[in-house]
Amino acid sequence: MGKFGPIDVIVLNSHGVGQVCHIKRFPRRGETLEATNWHVEEDGGKGATVSVALGRLGVSTGYIGKVGYDPWGDMGDQWMSESGVDTTYMYRDHCVSTGTGLIMIEDDSTNTIVDGDSACQALTWEETHDAIDAMKEARVFITGFGMPFRKALDGAKIAKEEYMMITFCNVSPLPSEEMGDLSFLDYMVLNDVEAKTLCDLPEDTDESSINILKQIKEKYHCKGVIMTCSSKGSAVLDGNDYWKVAPTPVKAVDTIGAGDGYLAAVAANLVWGKDLREATEWASKYAAYKVTRPGSMTKKPGCGYPQKEEVNAFMRRVEKYS
């Protein structure tokens, strides 16, 4: 139970503060490249962003993570709380500093991210277990590798095996070690580049999406795999069911946080009683709308993660002119 009432979704992942810069192109190895508009963004790592996106969709969300006693940690608590997220289990530790990351945005709006160390390295199994147990009424559990991946997987295992939650794991960034058996995961979430890497395929492979997803499912024994494909939509394998979700054509302004928003939108729809196919279709449109709005957690009008009514209005406009 959360401080605002029953929790529907638990998010276990990092909070950090993003520093953003704009570049003409990605630098070559060893090259110094000029960047412009360097600033601290209202962007808080994969745990905070998913939580805020869920909160703005009206989903009762509880966050689990660890931060330092510093201004970056204060920012995370403020940003999430203002979106209605329960931060009771945002643990704080004098021995760690809240993480930071660098987001480089190219002229075509593609972003590349370098993540710093996560304060969640200091998060203990007992702290994670206690937090999940306190919010055991939750239906959906989301984690990811913005924190040490073994700790993320420990959380998913607790959520599935002890409390029978629907478990999602965003495996970005891919760990250098083998992930092992992930049969306690309902859905692995990743992008097409990461999926090809897990299958030892070149980036320009012509291997079909369904074969890539089947390879991942068979290798890691998860129930299903959700693969986002940037402007090409997404592909989903749920047990033996496979489908593709077509993209919604938009002019992208800022792709930062679109993947996290997509995952939040999938989880929100499951809470609302939709099946996974309906959830991924709605989430795809949500992500399309998100990339037309600069920023992620900012509260500026017309920016960042949208409210549910804003998404529905966008979808009505799309249907009207399609």
pLDDT in tens, 12-62: 999 988 788 999 998 899 999 999 998 877 667 789 999 999 999 999 999
- Six-digit token pair at 286? 């949500």
Residue 15 near residue 98, CB atoms below 8 Å: yes
240: Cβ contacts below 8 Å, ≥ 6 apart: none
pTM value is 0.89
Distances (CA, A) of 152 to 57, 167, 247: 24, 11, 30
Domains and CATH numbers, the chain: 9-25+35-321 (3.40.1190.20)
Tens of pLDDT along the chain (322 residues) come to: 777 789 999 999 999 887 889 999 988 999 999 999 988 776 677 899 999 999 999 999 999 999 999 988 998 999 999 999 999 999 999 999 888 778 889 988 888 888 766 788 899 999 999 999 999 999 999 999 989 999 999 999 999 999 999 999 999 999 999 999 999 999 999 999 999 999 999 989 999 999 999 999 999 999 999 999 988 899 999 999 999 999 998 999 988 889 999 999 999 999 999 999 999 999 999 999 999 999 888 889 999 999 999 999 999 998 887 6
Residue with tokens 């939040």: 264
